[in-house]
Chains A and B, each alone.
Chain A
Amino acid sequence: MSVNKKKHWYDYLWIWSIVYFALGFFNILFAWLGMIDFILPLIFATVGGNKWFCNHMCGRGQLFWVLGRNLKCSRRKPAPKWLSSKGFRYGFLIFFLTMFGTMVFQTYLVFSGAGTLRKAIKLFWTFRVPWQWAYNGSVFPDWVAQFGFGFYSLMLTSTLIGLIVMVLYKERTWCSFCPMGTMTQGICKIKAKKGMKENDIK
């Protein structure tokens, strides 16, 4: 962040992204809190027609900035152009949503009794990591925990990807192909176009 700028409470949300992973390490049910980062940007985009969440509140983006710029963990080299191209961005969004859908389906299997709860997280959609310490039963049914494990996997994997590209390229390279960013920008563009058309009629 640059000089002379007043600090706001939401400038410290990078702490939240660390706290989130710490909480999920001890109890996987905390993974559900990550839904805030999913729903809030979409509300901002659909209701407000803006990317205020990305621009000011994204804890992950801020974390990459703190690590990459302030702690000098980034090479700060331009990323290859294809990484921020429309094709890759929308392709990655589709891939991400598909994986999200698969995760929801796994949750459904546990819900319906066709599957059993697996106390593990999956990194990069491939590597299974045991995580059994994070859940010892609760008042909630098993599917709630299953979703937690799935969602935590998704959050951790995407953060790891973000960290890798942060080290290799610019601090916030993740933002250039972040599925949430692509989705909210898409919504904003549709809204802005609609607004323009309506103004034309008037």
Chain B
Amino acid sequence: MKKAVNDIDRCVACGVCARQCPREAISIYKGCYAKVDFSKCVGCGLCEKACPAGSINVSEVGNVSK
């Protein structure tokens, strides 16, 4: 399954991805990084297109239930 995966080491926690997400699957965890709720994410890639740091990418994650 394709999901938005965030590299929390690169993430600047600006929140652009969260604003873009049509499913409200992304939240900014304690001002540190963007956290993707895989149960809501549909892998549309809107966040990836908006991310200024290039830290969030849609990729194959396998069938993880997280």
Binding site for B on A (CB under 8 A): 1-4, 44-45, 48-52, 54-56, 61, 65, 76, 78-79, 81, 84, 89, 169-178, 181-182, 184-185, 187-189, 191-192, 195
Main SS of chain A's interface residues?
helix
Binding site for A on B (CB under 8 A): 10, 12-16, 18-22, 28-32, 46, 49-55
Contact A188 B30 (CB under 8 A): yes
Partner of B13, one of A169, A170, A188: A188
**Bound state CA distance, A152 and B55, in angstroms?**
32
Partner of B32, one of A2, A52, A76, A188: A188
Q: Which residue of B lies closest to A169 (CB)?
A: B52
Query: Within the complex, what minimum Cβ distance (angstroms) separates A45 from chain B?
Result: 6
- Nearest 3 A/B pairs, CB to CB: A188-B31, A55-B15, A84-B53
Contact B28 A50 (CB under 8 A): yes
Number of A-B contacts (CB under 8 A): 96
**Bound state CA distance, A195 and B29, in angstroms?**
13
Q: A1-B19, A2-B20, A188-B31 are in contact. Are A55 and B51 (CB under 8 A)?
A: no
Contact B32 A170 (CB under 8 A): no
Query: Within the complex, what minimum Cβ distance (angstroms) separates B48 from chain A?
Result: 10
Contact A189 B52 (CB under 8 A): no
Q: Which of A3, A55, A65, A178 has the most CB of B within 10 A?
A: A55
**Bound state CA distance, A170 and B32, in angstroms?**
21
By a CB distance below 8 angstroms, the chain B residues around A1 are 19-20
